[in-house]
Chains A and B, each alone.
Chain A
C-alpha cells in the first residue's frame, strides 16, 4: 500500500485545509478550491478582510452543491420562518452550524456591509444563531440566505425551526425565583444577626421589628419561590407516591408556620433565616440540574433531515410546496442531492439513491422507472420526476415516529433520590411523631410541639436535593470536556446501570470519512498519472481518496472533463480518454461482486481494473470491544449487507450476535426484545435509521464526527473519535452514583446531630442556621473533590 500523504505543505488561506488538488490563486494567496477562493473575493471586494486577521484560516470548505432556495419566496413558508415582520422590517433567526470562531462572529455582524438591505445582525455564539433584521423590499429572504451561503455560512433551515420551541421561559422563571430567594436570604441574615450575637436591653425595641420583617421576607419565599415544591409534592401525593419534593415541601411549610407562630405570639425569633437559606440552596440545585447544552439538540426527528419544501409540478408549472401540504398523487421534482420526502413512484429520469438514512448502506442504488422509492433516499444525479404514493407521515421511514415508543413520555427508571426520599420521609416522620408522643406523655405539650417541628426542620434532605444535581452536573462537565454530551443529569444514573451495549455498524463503528482503498488490476506509471489528473478535478470524496492513494506528481492538464453525478467522470487528457466510475457505468458486464463498493477504471475504452473501497473501522474499536468484553453483553445490528463479515470477526468475539439487513423497525424491536429479557440496554447509532432503537433503548447514544451535524433524537451524543473512552464513561457514572450515596451518608451524620437537639425540644434557630450551611458546604466540597478524584482515576480530562 502506498503512503497516502502528498507532501505538499501548502495550506488553503481560507479554510486551512491541505491543498491536494488543483491550486487556486487570488492576490498571491492560495486556495484549495474555487469555493474558498470565491468567499475570499467577495470579502475582499467589500473590505471585509479583517475576517482573516482575527484567526488563521477561519473559513470552512464549502460543499459546492447547487442550492435551491426558491421556496423561501413562498409567503406561507416565509411567515412561518420569520420572528417578526411589518411593512419595512423583518426579523429572522438563523441557525448556522458553521459558526465556530471570533472571525465568524465578526463577519456575520458585518452583513450590512455586504448588502444594504441588512440593518443589523446579532450573533449568539453558543447557540450558533444569528438574528438578522432586514428590509424585505431591498433584500428578499431568499437573497439573504443565498448571501449567507455564498460566504460559507449557510443557515440550516429545517421544519423543526419552523416549529420554534420556546423553552427559555421556564429557566427565566427559575432565575427570577432564585434572585428573589437570594434577596430575601441576604436581608433576613442581616436582621437575624443581632439575635445571634445577643441583644442588649435597649436593642429589644428592634426585636419585634426584625421579627416582622423576617416574617415578611419569609412569606415571600414560601409563597412565591417555593411554589414549585408544593405543586410537585401535591401532584405526587395525588398519585400516591412520595418524591423528593414531598419532604421538602413539608419542611418549608413547617418552618414557615412555626416562624409565623413564634413571631406573632412574640415567643421567639422564628426560623426565617433557615427557611430562606434552604429555599435559596434548593433552587440553586434545581438550576444546576436544568442547565443543558444550548447548542446541541437532542430531540431531532426526521423533520430536521427533510427539506422544508419540495418542488411540485402542477399544470406544467414548478412551484415550491411545504412538505406538510403534499398530497398523494402530487408530481414532485427531485434535484441532485435532494431528499425524497414521501414514498413515491419514479416517473421520469434515472435514479441513483443514497439510502444511508434508511438502511445505513451508503453505496448508491440504481432504481428504474415505476419503482417505489422510500422516503429518506437522497438522489445523486440528474433531476427526477416522481409521484407521491403515501403521505409524508405514513412513509416507510417516517412511520417509525408513529410507533408508540415515540408517543409515551419517558418512563425511565426511578432515580436514587426519589427512591431514598420515601424511606427518608418515613424515618423522619416516625422520629418526629415519637418525640411528639413522648413529650406529650411526659406532660409538656409546648415542648412536644417544639420537638415535633424541630425534628422536621433539622432532618432536611436538602443535601440530597443539592448534592445530587451538583455531582451529576460535575460529571456532565467532565464528560463534556471528553466529547460526550448528555441530555440531562438523569442520564448519568442511567449510564451507571447499563449492562448491554448494542452497536450499529455504518457510521457508528466505522469512520464515515476514512476509506481503505485497494486496487485490483495493473497500472503503469503513466496511467496512474492520467487517473490522478482526472480524479483531482472532482470534489467527490472517493476521487479525493484516489488522488491521495496514487500520490502521483507531475499532473497533466485536462482538456475535456465531464462529471456525471452518481455515475462517474470522463476526462480527456493528452489524447487519452480516462473514465472513472461505478461498475454499471464503466464495465456493465464485468464479473465483480456488486455488493462491494468500488470505483472502476477504463482508459481509452480498455478496462484497467477497479479500486475496492472498504470502510475503515474506528481505530479505537478493537480496544473498546476488548474492554467491554469483560462486563457487558454486546450485540451488533446493521442495516446494510453482510459483505464485511470477515473483518468483523477479527474484532468482535464469536459469541456476539451480529445481524445484517435490519430495517429501522427491526432495530427497534430488537431493543424491545432485549429489554423484555431485563437487560439494561445502551444503543449506539448514528443515523435516522437508528432513531427508533435509540429512542426505545434505556440509553440512546448518537455517535457523530461533528456535533453540529444532525443527529437523531437521543439521550447522549458521543464524538466519534472518543468512542474508545466509553467504558471509562460508564465507570465514571458508576463512581458518581457512589459519590451521591457517600454524600448521603455524610449528610445523615449532620442530620443525626440536629435530631439529637431537636428531640429534646432544644433546637435554637442559631443551631439550625449553622448546621444547614455547614452540612451543605461539606457536601459540596466532598462531591467536588470525589468527582475530580474519580475522573483522574478513570483517566478522563
Chain B
C-alpha cells in the first residue's frame, strides 16, 4: 500500500497545478469579462475582399 503515498503526492501536485492555472488566468484578466467572448465567437469570419461585391 506504500504506493498510496506516491499517489497522494501526485493528487496534491495535480490539484496545485490546477490552482496555479486558475491564478494565472485570474491574473491575466480572463475572468474580467465573461460575457463578450461568448458573443464574439458567433461572428462570421471576414470574407476575402474580392468576394464582397
Binding site for B on A (CB under 8 A): 47, 50, 54, 102, 105-106, 109, 122-127, 168, 172, 175-176, 179-180, 183, 186-187, 190-191, 202-203, 205-206, 209, 213
Contact = CB atoms under 8 A, between A and B. Distances in A.
Which 5 A-B pairs give the minimum distances between C-beta atoms?
A125-B36, A124-B33, A183-B19, A126-B35, A125-B35
Contacts of A213: 8, 12
A175 B15 contact: no
A109 B15 CA distance: 37
A123 B32 CA distance: 12
A168 B32 contact: yes
A695 B4 CA distance: 62
Contacts of A190: 11
Interface in B13-53: 15-16, 18-19, 22-23, 26, 31-33, 35-36, 39-40, 42-44, 49, 52
Nearest to A54: B43
A453 B20 CA distance: 35
19 contacts: A47-B49, A54-B43, A105-B36, A105-B39, A124-B32, A125-B33, A125-B35, A125-B36, A126-B35, A126-B36, A127-B33, A172-B26, A175-B31, A179-B23, A180-B19, A183-B16, A183-B18, A202-B1, A209-B5
Nearest to B43: A106
Given A47-B49, A179-B19, 7 more contacts: A47-B52, A124-B32, A124-B33, A183-B15, A183-B18, A187-B11, A213-B8
B16 to A, nearest CB: 8
Given A124-B36, A126-B35, A202-B1, A102 B19 contact: no
Nearest to B19: A183
A275 to B, nearest CB: 18
Contacts of A47: 49, 52
B33 A102 contact: no
Contacts of A126: 33, 35-36
Nearest to B22: A179
Nearest to A124: B33
B15 A186 contact: yes
A47 B1 CA distance: 68
B40 A105 contact: yes
Contacts, number: 54
Contacts of A209: 5, 8
Contacts of B15: 183, 186-187
Contacts of A202: 1
Contacts of B43: 54, 102, 106
A106 B39 CA distance: 9
Contacts of B26: 172, 175-176, 179
A54 B22 CA distance: 34
A305 B27 CA distance: 34
Contacts of A105: 36, 39-40
Contacts of A168: 32
Given A176-B23, A180-B19, A187-B12, A102 B35 contact: no
Given A179-B19, A183-B15, A187-B15, A109 B40 contact: yes
Nearest to B38: A125
* Chain B contact surface mostly: helix
Contact of B36 (A54, A123, A176, A179): A123
Q: How large is the interface on B (under 10, 10 to 19, 20 to 34, 35 or more residues)?
A: 20 to 34
A192 B3 CA distance: 19
Given A50-B44, A168-B32, A187-B15, A102 B39 contact: yes
In the complex, which of the residues B5, B16, B36 has the most CB atoms of chain A within 10 Å of its own CB atom? B36
Contacts of B33: 124-127
A172 B24 CA distance: 12
A487 to B, nearest CB: 21
A172 B22 CA distance: 12
A381 B1 CA distance: 89
A213 B12 CA distance: 10
A570 B4 CA distance: 93
Contacts of B52: 47
A206 B7 CA distance: 13
Contacts of A205: 1
Contacts of A176: 23, 26
A685 B52 CA distance: 51
Contacts of B4: 206
A188 to B, nearest CB: 11
Contacts of A122: 36
A180 B1 CA distance: 30
Contacts of A124: 32-33, 36
Contacts of B12: 187, 213
A190 B31 CA distance: 28
In the complex, which of the residues B4, B12, B23, B42 has the most CB atoms of chain A within 10 Å of its own CB atom? B12
A81 B6 CA distance: 55
B43 to A, nearest CB: 5
A202 B4 CA distance: 12
A125 B26 CA distance: 19
A43 B23 CA distance: 41
Contact of A125 (B1, B18, B39, B49): B39
A323 to B, nearest CB: 31
Contacts of B22: 179
A127 B1 CA distance: 55
A563 B30 CA distance: 52
A175 B25 CA distance: 12
A550 B45 CA distance: 49
A106 B36 CA distance: 11
B52 to A, nearest CB: 5
In the complex, which of the residues A183, A191, A202 has the most CB atoms of chain B within 10 Å of its own CB atom? A183
A180 B32 CA distance: 19
A183 B13 CA distance: 12
A175 B52 CA distance: 46
A528 B5 CA distance: 94
Nearest to B1: A202
B34 to A, nearest CB: 8
A191 B5 CA distance: 12
Nearest to B5: A209
Contacts of B44: 50
A102 B11 CA distance: 43
Nearest to B53: A47
A179 B23 CA distance: 8
A176 B22 CA distance: 9
A122 B40 CA distance: 10
Contacts of A127: 33
A202 B2 CA distance: 11
Contacts of B16: 183
Contacts of B35: 125-126
A191 B19 CA distance: 18
A127 B32 CA distance: 10
Contacts of B23: 176, 179
A203 B49 CA distance: 70
A180 B35 CA distance: 24
